[in-house]
Structure 1
Amino acid sequence: MKNQLTAATLAAILMAGAGLLARAEVPEPDNILYGTILLDGVPVTATNTNVVVEARFQMDGPALDTYRMGSDAKLGNVFYALRPDMETAPQAGTNTVVKGDTLFIVLSDQTGQRDVKTHSVSDRGVVARIDFGASFDTEDLNANGIPDAWEATYLAGLGDGGDGDRTPEGDFDLDGVSNLGEYLGGTDPKDEEDYFAVAIESNVNPVVRFTALPASGLGYEGKQRFYALESSSNLVGHFWTNVAAYERIAGSGQIVAYPMPGTNLLENYRGRVWLE
């Protein structure tokens, strides 16, 4: 349900549906510049439509390409992207970019220019990441156990203790699962019907089932999601044991099914999920 924005997927998104320019020759593959923005320690998201990023030849010159936050839903909630036109040689009277050019990547908001980065065009068709401030799609700058980009995307802000709904222990959608539990489980903390749970299908041959999701999307880069199925015949003592062969299941979107032994249909079951 959450797609990770990598250089490869970004290129595919921006290239898809982009028709050839009206030239006699086939145009050169464009450079794609993308990244996240942190202003005054706060992640910029698609709701910050006053934030604009531009590529320019001169710092105070006209824009070669412009991106306003929130203008392209395909880029998700926290990324910007620029795609300046490329050519094999300079074209008189055009704003096309050639190998060897240096671009100014200018960040502005309603108060004016906020930051500037430079990018050297090393080749055609290069996808380069340029972040303003610390990259936060996997960072946890407020040290609350949940990556900031996930919080900014799914909780519309960072849980800092001032808003209980948005803290790791809070339950934004009131579905009984904490926001941290939603992050670990790969579910939507804004959807009260989306949470990790196991189900017992009571038929002739009862089966315990759950869906094992992969770890993908903002906040999950370099991580893998694992699941364990546990059972207990004594809920009073809170004594749970792993079900043999179901104690470490890598999530890949599959349905996990465990046939309940016919000798003990009164056993209780629960699932556990974690990230590594």
Structure 2
Amino acid sequence: MENVDYKELKKGGFMRQIQKNYFSMRLKSVGGQLTVQQLETIQKVAEKYGHGYIHLTSRQGVEIPFININSISQVKTQLGEGGVKVGACGPRVRTITACQGNSICPSGLINTVEVAEELEKRYGGRELPHKFKFGVTGCCNNCLKAEENDLGIKGGIKPSWNNSECTFCGLCEAICPAKAIKVGKTDKQLYFEPDKCIYCGKCVKICPTSAWSGKSGFIVSFGGLYGNRIAIGRRLLPLIFSIEILYKTIDIALAFFEKNAKNGERFANTLDRVGWKLLEKELNKAL
């Protein structure tokens, strides 16, 4: 036991419990999705090597508590045979969280599952100065609380109004949470203030005559933090419509973090120290 590398175990998803020689084992999931086969495997491992239960984390993860240090090798083998991988802890990209997005949810504006899977392929487990969290949410209802993450991605839509199709019913004004739309039913006029628009797309979805239309895109926030210190992620860019530009944006943000962060410093703290304008300048220069 004296030669146990606890740091390496934590890196591989094994977190020490208060009980000596026992670990809570974090499992890998992407976008909160697990197959039935994976669930069956997790059940068997929890029954055989744990205490017969699992813990669901706040970030769509699964942990199996009470894994004895002497069982780690057997546990990893059995999990692997059932298609389950161990998660990541420590200073690296953590579990990618996502809601169900537009493939399931009527409110969804982007395919969150595809984005989460691509984020995992590109960045999952990447070594960084400190832990780094991605959150992907399908619309401005913000179920995944994008701005709490180091980098948040939220579905948005830029609306456009067609006068010839409008009946001036007033539904868009009634539903607009930003109060960016005013409808004059008497004078048959519609007043839209784009600067107030939050890109929620509710006007597009509710319009009965398709007078409102729009193009879906990605709202990106940087530097969110939720722990001992709370910071809300900030938007530094307009709505992004290209998936290639989205990943280029992320590449720039991670490179900036690697270049400027002190060891053990979260992204938000780095930005506060070196200046948000510096990241904004690098983004605008490259995009």
Q: State whether TM-score is above 0.5.
A: no
The higher radius of gyration belongs to 1
Larger helix proportion of the pair = 2
TM-score by length of 2: 0.22
